[in-house]
Amino acid sequence: MRSAVAGFWLGAVCTAALFAAAGGTAVTVRVTATDTGHAQLEQEVDQNPLATLLAPAAPPVGALHIRKRNWGIITTYAQTLAAPGARAAGVPDVRVLLTLPGAVTATNADGREGRALVWTGLPAAEPAWAEARAINWPAAALAAAAAAVSLWVRGKAG
C-alpha cells in the first residue's frame, strides 16, 4: 500500500513538472511596413526568443504579445499592446477592449466595461498591459480529493 501512495505523489510531482515545462502559449503579432510602404501583419506563435534575435523583424508600428501559462490548477495570462509608431504613421485613435478569463491581477487600463478592460486610445509611451489568473476549480477539487484519499490510505496502512 505504501508503494501506491508513493507512486501517487511521484505522479503528482511529475505532472506538475510537465505542466511547468510545456503548459504555455505565447503569441506575438506585429504590424510592420514593407519596402513598398504597405502594412504587413507578422504573427509568431510559441517562438523561441533566440529566433527573434537571429532574424530581427522590421521596426513595428505596433505589437501585441499574449502569454498563457497553464499550471494545471492555475492558469496565468499576460497581454501587452505597444504602438510606438502608430501616431507617426497616422493611425487614428483606436479604443482597445480586452476580456481575460479569471481575475485581473494587475493592469494599466483606463477603465472597465463589465468584464472587459478598456484603454481609450492606442498606447503611446507606455504599452497597454494586463495580467490575470484563473483557477480551474474542478481540477483543484480532484487534486484535493486524490491527496485526501492518498493520505487516508497511508494512515490505514500505517
Per-residue confidence (pLDDT) for residue 75, from 0 to 100? 86
CA–CA distance, 20 with 23 (Å, rounded to integer): 6
C-alpha cell read off for 63: 505589437
Q: What are phi and psi of 153, to 5 degrees?
A: -65, -40
Per-residue confidence (pLDDT) for residue 55, from 0 to 100? 64
Chain-centroid distance, C-alpha 116: 16
Per-residue confidence (pLDDT) for residue 63, from 0 to 100? 78
Listed as ranges, residues in the chain with pLDDT below 50 are none
E strand map for 6-137: 24-33, 39-45, 60-70, 74-82, 96-98, 103-107, 111-113, 116-119, 128-135
Per-residue confidence (pLDDT) for residue 4, from 0 to 100? 67
Per-residue confidence (pLDDT) for residue 106, from 0 to 100? 94
Per-residue confidence (pLDDT) for residue 158, from 0 to 100? 59
Per-residue confidence (pLDDT) for residue 60, from 0 to 100? 67
C-alpha cell read off for 155: 494512515
CA–CA distance, 111 with 43 (Å, rounded to integer): 28
Q: What is the dihedral of CA 12, 135, 107, 120, to 10 degrees?
A: 140
Per-residue confidence (pLDDT) for residue 132, from 0 to 100? 92
